[in-house]
Structure 1
Amino acid sequence: MNRTSSVAMLALLAAVGIGATYLAHQAAAPRIAAEQRLIDSRSLLDLLPPDSYDNQPLEQPLTLDNNLLANSTLLIGYRATKAGQPSVVLLRSQTLGYAGSIELLIAIDVNGKLLGVKTLKQAETPGLGARIADWPNSWLQAFSGKSRTEIADSGWALKKDQGQFDQIAGATITSRAVINAVHDALRYFDEHRQSLVEGSPHE
């Protein structure tokens, strides 16, 4: 076999190898994407009681109007249902903490009661404000069961600000930011209850 033939054969083998790799990747892509969605789903939906829904909330995002709030921005929403009936609204919120943005997932039942709050992203000071990222999180659990009917708007503040909530030790700014974002989400839910609970998900 001369040099030209050898080069051509190597080029052909390389092309076949690249093609096979591409086809294998294309065939595996849907499975990989499905597995990633499952991981994301578990990370987000572990905020909800397992018996509170039987749909796939993350596959049916809600359209959020007027999402720029007093102290935060709502990024997206989801509706969980049980036996076809709305059960929980999930609101993904972004606010500004001490060192950067904080993203929260806030779960509210159809009666306006908080089921839980989870930190999704944060850049706060390690050992201080960054503790909001711990899961489970005893400080964030203090919001569970609360609502605007139980606590007046003026109560959604730190105790040092005449409110009803303790702060994370050494992290006043972080604590205020989270409390304000949760309060924003509750207000938004109350003002948009019908569309969040009964409206159609974004197609």
Structure 2
Amino acid sequence: MELLSSIRRNSIGLGIFAVFTAGLIALTQLYTKKTIENNIIAAQVAAFNEILPAQLYDNDLTQDSALLEPDDLLGSKEPVKIHIARKQGDVSGIIFETIAPSGYNGNLYLLVAIDKNGTVTGSRVISHKETPGLGDKVDLKKSNWILSFANTSLSNPLEKDWGVKKDGGQFDQFTGATITPRAVVRAVKNTLIYFEQNKASLLAQ
């Protein structure tokens, strides 16, 4: 009898502990989920501010967004998200979440900001799996290479110069790594082409 009573007491104690622990985990997840979401938004805002001049927009870029149909020019078979910059209600630019699908170690995910005139105001590689010390120089934390796209357009440079220097273009490649910068150059150029082909509908968002 004493053994059964002991087992019963222990079972009740373990049950109470399990309920308490589950509740604590649920509360922790609820709290951290909001914190993580806030951190993601803050990181987005910081990235947007780096690639799109603040004077070009007065809206909340994290809230003003839309999905585009999949398009090879944007490197995706899935809908592509854009963030719409507005100044006094008029579209002043678009930030594309585009993809460079031909990196050395897989896809590279980019933000490419283009103003209403078709000029790149800035770009960033936000996710990649490139080799440390080689292809990872597309990351601003590793080098300033990605800054070379600011103020470019389909006419500046000329189409023949939209490539890495090894291919006769104007953009630098990295020592021992040409595939990755080539993929990023192509992705930025293709995003500009997409913008130009769909300019009317994009600016009418």
Q: Same fold (TM over 0.5)?
A: yes
Structure 1 residue aligned with 2:157: 151
Q: Determine the C-alpha separation between the residues in 2 that align with 1:158 and 1:15.
A: 60
CA deviations on 1:31-57 (whole Å, 9 max, x unpaired) are 325423324424532332333333232
Is 2:112–2:120's contact at 8 Å kept on the other side of the alignment? yes
Higher relative contact order structure (alpha carbons within 8 Å, sequence separation ≥ 6): 1
SS in 2 for 1:125: coil
Is 1:48–1:107's contact at 8 Å kept on the other side of the alignment? yes
The count of corresponding residues between Structure 1 and Structure 2 is 198
Runs of 4+ in 1 over 3 A off after TM superposition: 71-75
Structure 2 residue aligned with 1:141: 147
What RMSD over aligned residues (CA atoms) do the two structures have, in Å?
Answer: 2.8
Mapped pair 1:97 → 2:103: yes
Q: Determine the C-alpha separation between the residues in 2 that align with 1:128 and 1:30.
A: 35
Structure 2 residue aligned with 1:85: 90
Is 1:89–1:107's contact at 8 Å kept on the other side of the alignment? yes
CA deviations on 1:133-191 (whole Å, 9 max, x unpaired) are 13384222111101113333222122333323232333222221111111100000001
Structure 2 residue aligned with 1:10: 13
TM-score of the superposition, structure 1-length normalised?
Answer: 0.81
Change (3 A) 1:127 1:30: closer
Percentage identity across paired residues of the two chains: 29
One-letter identity of the residue aligned with 2:55 = D
Is 1:156–1:165's contact at 8 Å kept on the other side of the alignment? yes
SS in 1 for 2:194: helix
Question: Which stretch has the larger CA shift, 123-132 or 41-50?
Answer: 41-50
Structure 1 residue aligned with 2:136: 130
One-letter identity of the residue aligned with 2:203 = V
Change (3 A) 1:78 1:10: same
Which of residues 27, 37, 46 in structure 1 aligns to 2:40? 37
Change (3 A) 1:60 1:126: same
